[in-house]
Amino acid sequence: MFFDTWQGLGRIVVVGVLAYAALVIFLRFSGKRTLSKMNAFDLIVTVALGSTLATILLSKDVALAEGLLALLLLIALQSGLFNGFRPRSFDDFSHHDAGRDFW
């Protein structure tokens, strides 16, 4: 009723500890910018990190290595590895010079 097998609970404990430790290490290497000074885009990435961590913990179909790669990819994108592809904030659009054309 409360759980299926002790093996399933053990998997959650082991994978949870390893995934959480890896997430902390990845975030430490990526720098403080990854989770600080949050705008809407940063919030989306943070929610995606949490969702990915939950999927790693609860889905037997996702191997630990695959989940860690997904976390690493999200953090790399967020920390600016692909800075040229990062969307501009909405503030950039709202503070344009009224005398200039967008073109």
pLDDT beyond 90 at 13 = yes
The answer to whether residues 68 and 19 touch, using CB atoms and an 8 Å cutoff, is yes
Kindly state whether residue 100 falls inside one of the protein's structural domains. no
Query: Does residue 17 fall inside a structural domain?
Result: no
Domain count, the chain: 1
- Matching residue, tokens 């005398």: 99
Domain membership of residue 49 as a residue range = 31-82
Q: pTM here?
A: 0.65
Q: Angle, nearest 10°, between helix axes 40-58 and 6-30? A: 150
- Could you read off the pLDDT of 23-58 as tens digits, one per residue? 888 888 876 655 566 677 777 888 999 999 999 999
66: its two tokens:
């695959």
The amino acid that residue 88 corresponds to is R
* Residue 72 belongs to a domain: yes
Q: How far apart are CA 86 and CA 80, in angstroms?
A: 8
Structure tokens at 10: 């053990």
